[in-house]
Amino acid sequence: MDSGEKISFSEGKLVVPDRPIVPYIEGDGIGPDIWRAAVMVIDGAIKKCWQERRQIIWKEVLAGEKAFKQTEQWLPQDTLDAFREFRVGIKGPLTTPVGKGIRSLNVTLRQKLDLYACVRPIRYFKGAPSPVKEPQKVEMVVFRENTEDVYAGLELESGAEETLALLHHLSETYGWHIRSDSAIGIKPISKTGSDRLIRAAIEFALEHQRRSVTLVHKGNIQKFTEGAFRNWGYELAKEAYPDRTISWEDVEGTPPASKVLIKDTIADIFFQQALTRPEDFDVIATMNLNGDYISDALAAQVGGVGMAPGANINYQKGYAIFEATHGTAPKYAGLDKVNPTSLILSGAMMLDHMGWSEAAILIEKGIEKAIAGKKVTYDLARLMEGAEEIPCSRFAEQVCEQMELA
Ligand code: NAD
C-alpha cells in the first residue's frame, strides 16, 4: 500500500507532495453517506487532472459518536495530533454531545489548533432553487474571525457570586451601574486577532484576483471593539499592502482594477445590501458573531445548507480543516438521500488550498452541470420545477460523469 508523505509548511507556505496523507473524519448521522460521495468526486477529479501522478492517501481519524463507541472519547488525542501532524484535513458533521462535558467538538477542534479564520465561499449554481431574483449576483467569500468576540465563552450567569462581584467592581471603578440580576458576557476584540483575520482576507483577495475586501462591523455603536476592527483593517491594508490595495477614501471615479479595494459597511446595512445589490460585495472580513449570521444568510440566497462549503484555517501555521457546514441530520442517516454538495465543495476548497486548483475547478464544473441537468437530491428536487430526485450516491456519480466530459 502507498504510504504517502506529509504536507509540510515552510516560509509561510504549504509544501504539498504528490501523494499527501490527508486525515479525514467521516462524521456522524449522514456523515458516512456524504463522505462516500465526496471522496468519489475528489479522487475522480484528481485522477482526471493528473492520472496516477497525484493521489491523496486518505487516513481515517475518529471523532464524534464513532470515536466514542470505539475509544469512549468524543475527540481522541490521536485525532488532534493527526490534524497537527498532517496539517490539512477534512471532516463530515459531528454530533454535539448534550450534557457530556465537551461543549462542542467543532469548537474544541478550532480552539486546539487555533483555526482563527472561518472561510465560507458563497456562489450560485445555475438552476439551484433560490429565494432571491438574481442569485447569480451572489459571489462572495466570508472570512469570519473564529476565536474572539462574544463567542469566546466568557460569560457569567445572572445572580452568581462572581457576577455580583464583577458588577460591584464595574460600578465602583467605572461608574457602570448595571442591573443586579444581569448576566454578563465579555466581548474581546484584539488588534492581533483582527489583523491576522483581515490579512488572510486581503491575501485571499490578491491571490484570487478578487475586486474588494469589505470590513463588516457595528463600529457606529460598539466603537472600541467593532470600530477598532474597522480602523485596524484600513491601517493594515495601508501599511502591509500599500501598492496592492486602495482604500475607498482614496478612490476618484472607478477603482483601479490592479488594486484590491478596501471598504467597510455597518452590519445591519450589509444585510440589506446583500439582498438588494450583492454584486457590490466580494471578499468579506468580519468578527465572529456577525460572521456567523452573515455566512448562513448568504448561503440561504444560493440554495441553503446542503450547498455551502466551509473551512477553518490557521494561515500562520498552515493548519486547515475543511468541513460540511450543515449538521448530522440524524433522521436521514444511512438513507443515501441527502445532498453531498457541501462536503464535495469543501473538498474542492481543500484542493485549491493545497495548490491543486485544476481539480477544484473541475469539481465546480461537475456540480454546475449536474445541477443544471435537474437530477438532484431531495432537498433541491422538491424546490426545482421539473427536477427528478436521485440518491446521494447517484448525484456524486453524476458529478464524476460530468467531470469526465469536461
Ligand atoms: P442539521 O443541519 O443536521 O439538519 C437540519 C435539517 O437540514 C435536516 O433535518 C435536513 O432537513 C436539512 N439538511 C442538513 N444537511 C443536509 C444535506 N446535506 N442535504 C439535505 N438536507 C440537509 O441541523 P440540526 O438538526 O440542528 O443538528 C443535528 C446535529 O448536528 C446536532 O447534534 C448538531 O449539534 C450537529 N451539528 C453539527 C455541525 C458540524 O459538525 N459542523 C453543524 C451543525 C449542527
C-alpha of residue 171 to centroid of ligand 1, in Å: 43
| Count of other CB atoms within 10 angstroms of residue 180 | 12
Contact in structure between 308 and 299 (CB atoms under 8 Å) = yes
Rounded Cα distance between 9 and 11, Å, is 7
Asked whether the CA dihedral 260, 266, 271, 273 is positive or negative, the reply is: negative
Lowest pLDDT segment from 39-43, 217-221, 246-250, 351-355: 246-250
| Count of other CB atoms within 10 angstroms of residue 305 | 18
Average pLDDT in the 156-178 region? 96
pLDDT over 70 at 1, yes or no? no
* Grid coordinates of 321: 480543516
Q: Is 295 in the pocket of ligand 1 (CB under 6 A)?
A: no
In 175-326, alpha helices (H): 191-207, 228-240, 267-276, 288-301
Summarize pLDDT for 299-347 with one digit per residue, the tens: 999 987 778 999 999 999 999 999 999 999 999 999 999 999 999 999 9
C-alpha of residue 326 to centroid of ligand 1, in Å: 5
**Which are the contacts of 226, defined by CB distance < 8 A and separation ≥ 6?**
189, 217, 218, 219, 287, 290
Identify the pLDDT of residue 2: 64
> pLDDT band at 403, cuts 50/70/90?
very high
Summarize pLDDT for 137-158 with one digit per residue, the tens: 999 999 999 999 998 888 999 9
Q: Is 93 in the pocket of ligand 1 (CB under 6 A)?
A: yes
Query: Which numbered atom of ligand 1 lies nearest the CA of 323?
Result: 41
Average pLDDT in the 238-259 region? 91
Contact in structure between 228 and 194 (CB atoms under 8 Å) = yes
Identify the pLDDT of residue 257: 85
Identify the pLDDT of residue 107: 84
User: What are the angstrom distances between the C-alpha of 48 and each of 35, 341, 367?
Assistant: 20, 19, 15
Q: Which residues are catalytic?
A: 151, 218, 268, 292
> pLDDT band at 82, cuts 50/70/90?
very high
Identify the pLDDT of residue 99: 62
Which of 326, 344, 392 is the pocket-test mutation for ligand 1 (most atoms within 8 Å of CB)? 326
Rounded Cα distance between 278 and 163, Å, is 43
Is the backbone of residue 139 left (phi > 0), alpha (psi -120 to 50) or beta? Answer: beta
Mean pLDDT rounded to a whole number for the chain: 94
% of residues, the chain, pLDDT over 90? 86
Asked whether the CA dihedral 45, 51, 56, 57 is positive or negative, the reply is: positive
Residue identifier of the C-alpha nearest atom 10 of ligand 1: 329
Q: Is 348 in the pocket of ligand 1 (CB under 6 A)?
A: no
Average pLDDT in the 17-46 region? 97
Residue among 125, 158, 136, 148 at smallest CA distance from 194: 148
> pLDDT band at 255, cuts 50/70/90?
confident
Identify the pLDDT of residue 353: 95
Please give the model's pTM, rounded to 2 decimal places.
0.94
pLDDT over 80 at 174, yes or no? yes
Average pLDDT in the 79-99 region? 91
Query: Which numbered atom of ligand 1 lies nearest the CA of 331?
Result: 9
Query: Which numbered atom of ligand 1 lies nearest the CA of 324?
Result: 41
C-alpha of residue 341 to centroid of ligand 1, in Å: 14
Rounded Cα distance between 96 and 104, Å, is 5
Asked whether the CA dihedral 144, 287, 289, 189 is positive or negative, the reply is: positive
The separation between CA 39 and the C-alpha centre of its own chain, rounded to angstroms, equals 19
pLDDT over 90 at 228, yes or no? yes
Identify the pLDDT of residue 100: 60
Contact in structure between 290 and 217 (CB atoms under 8 Å) = yes
Q: Is 96 in the pocket of ligand 1 (CB under 6 A)?
A: yes
Collapsing DSSP states into helix, strand and coil, what is residue 150? helix
| Count of other CB atoms within 10 angstroms of residue 331 | 10
Identify the pLDDT of residue 230: 98
Contact in structure between 182 and 162 (CB atoms under 8 Å) = no
User: What are the angstrom distances between the C-alpha of 103 and each of 98, 111, 244, 282?
Assistant: 8, 12, 42, 33
Average pLDDT in the 287-307 region? 91
Contact in structure between 343 and 92 (CB atoms under 8 Å) = yes
C-alpha of residue 359 to centroid of ligand 1, in Å: 27
Residue among 143, 78, 70, 142 at smallest CA distance from 112: 78
* Grid coordinates of 238: 495601508
Identify the pLDDT of residue 16: 97
pLDDT over 90 at 263, yes or no? yes
Query: Which numbered atom of ligand 1 lies nearest the CA of 93?
Result: 40
Summarize pLDDT for 95-119 with one digit per residue, the tens: 887 766 667 888 888 888 999 999 9
Query: Which numbered atom of ligand 1 lies nearest the CA of 95?
Result: 32
Identify the pLDDT of residue 101: 62
Identify the pLDDT of residue 83: 96
The separation between CA 394 and the C-alpha centre of its own chain, rounded to angstroms, equals 26
> pLDDT band at 244, cuts 50/70/90?
very high
Residue 18 exposure: Cα atoms within 13 Å on the Cβ side: 8
**Which are the contacts of 303, defined by CB distance < 8 A and separation ≥ 6?**
124, 125, 128, 129, 130, 135, 380
Contact in structure between 336 and 375 (CB atoms under 8 Å) = no
* Grid coordinates of 379: 432537498
C-alpha of residue 316 to centroid of ligand 1, in Å: 30
Summarize pLDDT for 362-380 with one digit per residue, the tens: 999 999 999 999 999 999 9
Q: Is 341 in the pocket of ligand 1 (CB under 6 A)?
A: no
